[in-house]
């Protein structure tokens, strides 16, 4: 099991892409079994074992981009 905890403004969490967070997490995080994510404005994005510090603008941008690329086409 892989546990992700995200600490951010609550308004950003509604659009968060947790699959994207897992994709970029340090590989050792999966061995540890957890990844704490802290989203901070004007911070440099860093991925370390067990923790990710993500720039707020990158977090929002990546979440939107990921949602657009994984959206399923509407079937008629």
Please report whether residue 24 resides in a domain. Answer: yes
Contacts of 4 (CB under 8 A, 6+ apart): 18, 21, 22, 34, 35, 36, 37
Q: What is the three-class DSSP state of 53?
A: strand
Please report whether residue 46 resides in a domain. Answer: yes
Please report whether residue 10 resides in a domain. Answer: yes
| Consecutive 10-residue averages of pLDDT for the chain (76 residues) | 80 75 82 89 92 89 66 50
Count of all residues that appear for the chain in the document: 76
Please report whether residue 72 resides in a domain. Answer: no
Give the separation between CA 37 and CA 20, rounded to whole angstroms: 12
Q: What is the three-class DSSP state of 68?
A: helix
Beta bridge partner(s), residue 35: 4
* pLDDT recorded at residue 49: 92
* pLDDT recorded at residue 53: 92
Please report whether residue 74 resides in a domain. Answer: no
Q: Count of domains in the chain?
A: 1
Please report whether residue 21 resides in a domain. Answer: yes
Please report whether residue 73 resides in a domain. Answer: no
Query: Which structural domain range is residue 25 located in?
Result: 3-66
Please report whether residue 17 resides in a domain. Answer: yes
pTM: 0.71
């Amino acid at each position: 099991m892989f546990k992700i905890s995200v600490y951010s403004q609550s308004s950003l969490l509604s659009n968060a892409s947790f699959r994207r967070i897992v994709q970029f997490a340090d590989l050792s995080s999966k061995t540890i079994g957890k990844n704490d994510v802290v989203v901070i404005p004007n911070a440099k994005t860093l991925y370390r074992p067990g923790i990710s510090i993500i720039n707020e603008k990158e977090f929002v941008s990546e979440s939107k981009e990921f949602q657009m690329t994984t959206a399923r086409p509407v079937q008629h």
